[in-house]
Amino acid sequence: MVVVGAGFSGLAAALALKRAGAGVRVLEARDRVGGRVLTRWLPDGTQLDLGAQWIGPTQDRVRALVTRYGLATFPSAAHGTPTVLWDGRRYAEPPAPTGAVLALLDAYAQGVDPAAPWAAARAEAWDRRTVADWLARAAPDPVTARYLGRQLAGGLLAAAPAEISMLQLLFYLRSGGGSAMLLAMAGGAQQDRLVGGPGVLADALAAALGPDTVRCGAPVHAIVQDRTGVTVRTDDEVVTAGAVVVAVAPALAGRIRYDPPLPALRDGLNQRMPMGSAVKVHAVYPEPFWRADGRSGVATCADGPVTETVDNGTPGSARGVLTAFSYGAEATALRRLSPPARREALLDALVAIVGPAAGRPDEVVEYDWSADPWTRGCFCGALTVGAWRAYGPELRRPVGRVHWAGTETATRWAGYLDGAIEAGERAAAEVLDTTDQLSLK
């Protein structure tokens, strides 16, 4: 079997295939495994997770692997009071109406089966309505609508509220266990980090596959299939197998050439699931000065280029790290600025949150996932308005010997590391169900 992509999904698929006795080759474009995870260390040991960083409760698959490989986690920093910047005012928590709107969304999400969002009773109406449009009517005032749009379409999907359908949002809420689970630090998706970063888990998975299973620096350009098997082509290698698991986001799967060409509906899906647009920037300070003022460094903002920040310090390191996130239109606007202007805009936003000392970092560290040819945006892909009903059923449907993995195809914790693992294991099970594919190896 061949697996395209050595992110968490491809590695999980390969491990499941290997454990079932199949021969496996994993072809990975980059010179490393792990995909959308990347960690840099400052000389003093401060850990900067530039890609994915958190795991939380109910993410049972990723947690099981953390336990199996004996890896350690640490809780996200939690000192002091959070900040909510709201129409020029400062609060410790969002004003009450946000809770009522979130409760309504969570109730709606209960009506969406994450394995078949297109079949929901109200799917047609929800798929053509944008989150921005819904919030403009459901929220009691424009600030609440703006704040929630930034938290939900932005914080969860790294998109603008006008780009995301209600059905996409409700699917995502259901898949991750509801708004409180998705948005919270302690008790939610942002609860814990891995010592050494999530890349150590990817390395452990790759090591468990044994030597010579994963080939890095091997971008797959073409997948040819006929009645006897598949042929997968990289720059300098042709691999034949009984089946292939494509464990990359649809936006990248659509850049591979298929022969015969993909059916119109599958190709249509690849065209309608763009990656999100997030800017994640770490500002590093001599110490976490905001803690002395009783502030947690955790902030959410109704306006401005930064939607949220967290205190991203590493236990055992004296340095303070404030990590700022910007999404959708705000992220795009930042990307258009020159590097100095962008840095200034980001630091001005941090000054508004924790005070003037935020304007004097030791360094500012960022990785632009949108510019990375093997990711092209983050956190994940999301179907465009109207596309869930028209193309959603193609998301996991195999095309002959081509099977689809990647976090975008998950039903639980879609968009997250945990969902990537679910998707890889599900795709492997599909392949194993097709016995002639297994016998061909």
Contacts of 82 (CB under 8 A, 6+ apart): 92, 93, 295, 296, 298, 299, 300
Any known ligand binding at 119? no
Question: What residues pair up with 316 in beta bridges, in sequence order?
Answer: none
Strands 295-301 and 81-86: parallel
Among 9, 165, 175, 326, binds ligand FAD (CB under 6 A): 9
29 binds ligand FAD (CB under 6 A): yes
Among 47, 53, 151, 314, binds ligand FAD (CB under 6 A): 53
Any known ligand binding at 93? no
| Total H helices, total E strands in the chain | 18, 21
Among 152, 159, 181, 380, binds ligand FAD (CB under 6 A): 380
Give Cα separations from 89 to 143, 295, 308, 364 (angstroms). Answer: 11, 16, 15, 27
Among 36, 233, 401, 412, binds ligand FAD (CB under 6 A): 36
76 binds ligand FAD (CB under 6 A): no
Minimum distance, C-beta of residue 381 to ligand FAD, in the bound complex (Å): 10
* Cα–Cα distance for residue pair 397/225, rounded to 1 Å: 16
325 and 307 in contact (C-beta within 8 Å)? yes
Any known ligand binding at 107? no
Contacts of 47 (CB under 8 A, 6+ apart): 39, 41, 193, 195, 196, 197, 314, 317
6 binds ligand FAD (CB under 6 A): yes
Helix spans in 153-263 (H): 155-157, 166-175, 179-183, 199-208, 250-253
Count of residues that interact with ligand FAD, criterion CB under 6 A: 39
Among 86, 289, 327, 379, binds ligand FAD (CB under 6 A): 379
* Cα–Cα distance for residue pair 242/431, rounded to 1 Å: 9
14 binds ligand FAD (CB under 6 A): no
Give Cα separations from 381 to 168, 213, 318, 402 (angstroms). Answer: 11, 28, 36, 20
37 binds ligand FAD (CB under 6 A): yes
Any known ligand binding at 379? no
Any known ligand binding at 8? no
- Is 130 or 411 the residue whose CB approaches ligand FAD more closely? 411
4 binds ligand FAD (CB under 6 A): yes
Minimum distance, C-beta of residue 4 to ligand FAD, in the bound complex (Å): 5
185 binds ligand FAD (CB under 6 A): no
* Cα–Cα distance for residue pair 73/55, rounded to 1 Å: 9
Minimum distance, C-beta of residue 279 to ligand FAD, in the bound complex (Å): 9
Stretch that binds ligand FAD, among 50-58, 77-85, 114-122, 356-364 (CB under 6 A): 50-58
- Binders in 191-220 for ligand FAD, by CB under 6 A: 219-220
* Cα–Cα distance for residue pair 15/361, rounded to 1 Å: 42
192 and 54 in contact (C-beta within 8 Å)? yes
Stretch that binds ligand FAD, among 123-131, 290-298, 326-334, 375-383 (CB under 6 A): 375-383
* Cα–Cα distance for residue pair 53/74, rounded to 1 Å: 11
- Binders in 333-352 for ligand FAD, by CB under 6 A: none
Any known ligand binding at 279? no
Quick one: tokens of 24? 């496996």
Minimum distance, C-beta of residue 50 to ligand FAD, in the bound complex (Å): 7
- Is 385 or 417 the residue whose CB approaches ligand FAD more closely? 417
* Cα–Cα distance for residue pair 437/441, rounded to 1 Å: 6
- Binders in 278-297 for ligand FAD, by CB under 6 A: 278, 280
177 and 184 in contact (C-beta within 8 Å)? no
Minimum distance, C-beta of residue 234 to ligand FAD, in the bound complex (Å): 7
Sketch the per residue contact string, 215 through 254, with ligand FAD: x for CB under 6 A, - otherwise.
Answer: ----xx--------------------------xxx--x--
Give residue for tokens 């010592």. 195
285 and 319 in contact (C-beta within 8 Å)? yes
272 binds ligand FAD (CB under 6 A): no
182 and 153 in contact (C-beta within 8 Å)? no
415 binds ligand FAD (CB under 6 A): yes
- Is 5 or 117 the residue whose CB approaches ligand FAD more closely? 5
Binding residues for substrate: 325
Binding residues: 9, 28-29, 220, 325, 408
The residue ranges that bind ligand FAD (CB under 6 A) are 4-10, 27-30, 35-37, 51-54, 219-220, 247-249, 252, 256, 278, 280, 369, 374-375, 378-380, 406-407, 415-417, 420
Binding residues for FAD: 9, 28-29, 220, 408
